[in-house]
Chain A
């Protein structure tokens, strides 16, 4: 290995101009490729498409409901029965018809012909459209509409309970039924703003929710990422300068990390990937990791110059010394990130690939390009003085921390770690799966979208959280009393589950219709028990209601839940499974689950089941790489155990902060381990070198701290501060990811700096017991 690295060193450093030219060329080419990157967001990317529930979702797209568009017009003063309001409502209804992807017959508002009223009169029924053909924008005309809306039972559905708002709803089709083309949600979102939100006036407020709108808002939030990138850049630059004591030396690792980001983005474009709101975070990560390794390199070169070597020789030595641990650490990252591929949700898999490619690129840019560039860089005058002063300044801190290698102190540290781990395991048990906030979890609770959701939910009798159980049966199943009875009982059973607000299904509606045929007398609200009576009770229900399909072989049971907490979802899905087991011989097949909560249930299950597998794989990879590098089981334990503590603690912290385990936070656990192991590998490889020289552990660790610890400490702080700024992102998941990544950067640094030597003191008893012949700092 050493021979290989030596050859690589000669290959690179003997041809420095050529190497630089190649890098320049590649950067130009990949830089051009980045212009091909497209923002790419779609519903199917966000969900575990191979999960059983998602199969139900895709088998029955018309019952999904997740792709519904809800537009509420709110009268800012008084009620909706004003000419200004109805003009706006008419305009909104018309505009919705012309949005791309809208299933036109599904458009529903007071103005659409599918909105009717019926009433019982002495000799039968009377009824018509809620907005009659001869409607006029006069007080009289509006009074008629008001009456009809009440008679038709549209209050609470299309008209707010307090008459302060009215709804326009429509179903969007993800793929054009004729061309098969994917719907451009961002375009829809843009049109919603330009055509419909623009109807807002002094009299009318417009509130829009639905998947298309949420996607647009998330994409808009993702655009703010550029600003965060800038902030991270500035913070890193300042910190690198403080570390390197030289503008030139600070700029080089930053520039190389920027090159890594360009390469990563370019490579993704070449591989045909797009950018979505989640993978847009990867460039930060790559940049931050690049800076961290770059700083190690600058540190090493500085140390060599310090020892009196010329700059080229210093760069060559640093290259030789860091190539192995650096590459191993980065490979660890890359392979660790790939473990995230186990989560079968495309958006996460793309994040994993993007991050892996990114850290792979860092190997080239910061372990090869950077030392080459450094070999050209004359160190500023007085540089070594500055280094000396800084080293002298930090020396007491290193001496203090080096005590961790003392066995008695180590015992205390390890005992503390065990206690912390115990607490972490206990607290981590309360970790919730999924999201707990109301509204769309990707956006902040106080975002416009989630405020609009809150308004619509409170003004109308509408649940936005629905889990739909699909009942499949034979054709014309809805006139089979045994089938309908089963569906009816499922509906009632679900309604009784805690956390369920209400339910809706064909039998429930059939009961009401049966009463309708008997003058509305509630005593007739019973599910008919014969085929002939069922025919009349279900005949008036058309497929547009979403309660049955054309040949009546599919009937959904919609379960509206009070929230989408994981425990609520599990209670509902468990109840469905129990009911299915009890009714195994019923002539129906019950399929979980569609609706937005059904999708969440699938996502939660995918996340939950992937978690253990993913962590086991990440740790297996990390441990394997450590074994390979250090050829020592003890070394592997020294590096991996401190990380394990961080993983355990991360669960506890998430539980304390109310952050659930979800699509956005699960990958962080893998990324966190990958990044944490960097510290351990850099520290341990240096310490192992000194131990092999026969130095006592205390001295070996002190010397390691002076050289590598400096960079590790600095890196941990820089990375943590960089990602901590994400907490201010408009995107809730970015904020959560930032918080957790920051935690991993900071805590795994501390854990490594303290526990690795502590473990070593007990695993290498002889070295630990050797008399401390403290080598003075190289002053």
Chain B
């Protein structure tokens, strides 16, 4: 069990010291103020109320996105789904029946798509993201689902915290929990490989692969004991997995052997995309952006000066690059500055 709920600090005298990099200035000096008595847990209303239409939805925390030509759909905190028809220049907010943070989105075709998030919610759209219906949510605390992949309009795989793997064969009418017995690692990301298999990466160096559309995953050798947050497949077929503290690994043999790629950064890498011109772009925390023109054998690191946290990368049909993260959508001309 690697879930760190309490202090597991190697440095002494750090009770509950947390990275809250964005707020450290405010909450400098961490000191435990554990409440003496806890009131009975009241359920929040995040699940029952819909996302609030907000002027700044496209500038809130966005975690994942997909593009079809110049049409872009991105999902994020507070049940925000934002849709752009012009490559990210302007955005409208989709109608979403939940305020839980949505962590991932995947489309079977331009109109039919799926989004997953906290509270175990799974949403479906049939109109390209404008409106969504709730197809699943878990009871109780509702551990988050962290990624989703639509194999086609009927077959969908969702993965999440504590080893959760949910599959449907009927377009979301019924969901089957197919998690491995006793598995409690967080499953962070899915990647469909070109050979038809489905790659899965997660906590504690987890790398797995499924040949049957996500019902059964098999372990692949792990390159690293730390968490992996994402994966991309290079144009030459090489597989790249990346995660905690700037770690990036490449495999040329479908995931059997891994080679570490030096990134020169210690910020965690959270998302990536392969561009139409075969360039690979990976993004991460603290303004980190990596680019590679050789299929990920070597990378060039850029740290954007405002050190914003990124979570996803999307390229539009015209080659415009969108970085998704804590400040919403960042639109770049194509090249990452500077």
CB-defined contacts of A124 to chain B, threshold 8 Å? 4, 7-10
- Whether, in the assembled complex, B291 has its beta carbon less than 8 Å from a beta carbon of chain A, the answer is no
- Please determine whether A116 and B35 come into contact, CB atoms closer than 8 angstroms: no
Q: Is A86 an interface residue (CB 8 A)?
A: no
Complex CA gap A551/B47 in Å reads 28
B184 lies within 8 A of chain A by Cβ = no
For residue B188, which residues in chain A have a CB less than 8 angstroms away from its CB? 521, 523
CB <8 Å contact, A495 and B56: yes
Interface string of B1-43 (1 = CB under 8 A from A): 0011111111100101111111111111111111111111111
CB atoms of A531 and B268 under 8 A apart: no
* B78 and A492 contacting across the interface, CB-CB below 8 Å: yes
Neighbouring A residues of B140 by C-beta, 8 Å: 530
Of all chain A residues, the one with the shortest Cβ separation from B118 is: A526
Closest Cβ of chain A to B143, distance in Å, is 10
Residue A190 interfacial (CB < 8 Å):
no
Q: Is B225 an interface residue (CB 8 A)?
A: yes
With both chains docked as a complex, state the minimum distance between the C-beta of A530 and any C-beta of chain B, in angstroms: 5
Verify A476–B18 contact, CB threshold 8 A: no
Contacting residue for B33 out of A489, A521, A524, A550, CB 8 A: A550
Across-interface contacts of A531 in B (CB, < 8 A): 38-42
Distance between Cα atoms of A478 and B37 in the complex (Å): 12
Interface of chain B residues 240 through 264 with chain A (CB within 8 A): 244-245
Contact for B42 among A114, A150, A481, CB less than 8 A: A481
CA distance A387 to B36 in the complex (A): 90
**Residue A108 interfacial (CB < 8 Å):** yes
Q: From residue 662 to 702 of chain A, which have CB atoms closer than 8 A to chain B?
A: none
A157 CB contacts on chain B under 8 angstroms: 24-26
* A551-B31 Cα distance, complex, nearest whole Å: 14
A523 to B32, CA, bound (A): 25
Using a Cβ–Cβ cut-off of 8 Å, how many residues does chain B contribute to the interface with A? Answer: 83
A519, B43: Cα distance in complex, Å? 26
Given A529-B142, A535-B35, A536-B6, verify A516-B41 contact (CB < 8 Å).
no
Q: How far does the alpha carbon of A155 sit from the alpha carbon of B144 in the complex, in Å? A: 32
B37 x A496 contact (CB < 8 A): no
A493–B55 CA distance with the chains assembled, in angstroms: 9
Complex contact A496–B55 (CB within 8 A): yes
A489 touches B52 (CB 8 A): yes
A480 contacts the other chain (CB 8 A): yes
CB of A463 within 8 Å of the partner chain: no
Question: Among A240-248, A333-341, A540-548, which stretch is in contact with chain B?
Answer: A540-548
Q: In the docked arrangement, what's the CA distance between A546 and B226, Å?
A: 35
A531-B306 Cα distance, complex, nearest whole Å:
34
Partner of A547, one of B27, B37, B229: B27
Min CB distance B225 to A, Å, is 6
**When the two chains form their complex, are residues B11 and A496 in contact, meaning their CB atoms are under 8 A apart?**
no
Residues of A108-135 contacting chain B, CB below 8 A: 108, 113-128
By the criterion CB–CB under 8 Å, are A155 and B307 in contact?
Answer: yes
* Of the residues A117, A120, A495, A551, contact of B24 by C-beta under 8 Å: A117
| Contact of A523 (CB < 8 Å), options: B37, B41, B63, B244 | B63
- Contact B42–A522 (Cβ < 8 Å): no
Query: Cα distance A188–B41 when bound, in Å?
Result: 48
Inter-chain contacts of B8 with A (CB < 8 A): 123-125
Check: A482 CB closer than 8 A to any chain B CB: yes
Q: Does A154 sit at the interface, judged by CB under 8 A?
A: yes
Q: Which residues of B contact A479 (CB under 8 A)?
A: 35, 38-39
Q: Does A620 contact B (CB under 8 A)?
A: no
Residue of chain A at shortest CB distance from B142: A529
Interface residue from B34, B35, B119, B326 paired with A529 (Cβ < 8 Å): B119
Binary CB contact string for chain B from 88 to 119 against chain A (1 if under 8 A, 0 otherwise) = 00000000000011011000000000000011
Chain B residues positioned under 8 Å from A540 (CB to CB): 16-18, 20, 27, 30-32
Q: A521-B229, A529-B141 are in contact. Are A513 and B18 (CB under 8 A)?
A: yes
Give the chain B neighbours of A495 by CB distance below 8 A: 56
In the complex, how many angstroms separate the beta carbon of B317 from the nearest chain A beta carbon? 26
Closest chain B residue to A549, Cβ basis? B33
Q: Is B77 among interface residues, defined by CB-CB distance under 8 A?
A: yes
Residues of B with C-beta under 8 A to A535: 34-35, 38
Quick one: given A116-B28, A552-B33, are A480 and B39 in contact (CB under 8 Å)?
A: yes
Residues of chain A within 8 A (CB-CB) of B146 are 523
Interface: B46 (CB within 8 A): yes
Chain A residues, CB < 8 A from B24: 116-118, 152-154, 157
Find residues 544-584 in chain A having any chain B CB closer than 8 Å to their own CB: 544-547, 550-552
Q: List 29 A-B pairs, Cβ < 8 Å.
A: A116-B17, A118-B18, A118-B19, A118-B30, A123-B10, A124-B8, A124-B9, A126-B9, A128-B11, A151-B21, A152-B28, A153-B23, A157-B24, A476-B39, A504-B26, A509-B23, A511-B77, A513-B23, A521-B270, A522-B309, A522-B311, A523-B144, A523-B146, A530-B140, A531-B38, A532-B38, A532-B41, A540-B32, A545-B26
**A binding-site residues for B, Cβ under 8 Å:** 108, 113-128, 150-158, 161, 474, 476, 478-482, 484-485, 489, 492-493, 495-496, 498, 504, 508-509, 511-513, 516-527, 529-533, 535-536, 538-547, 550-552
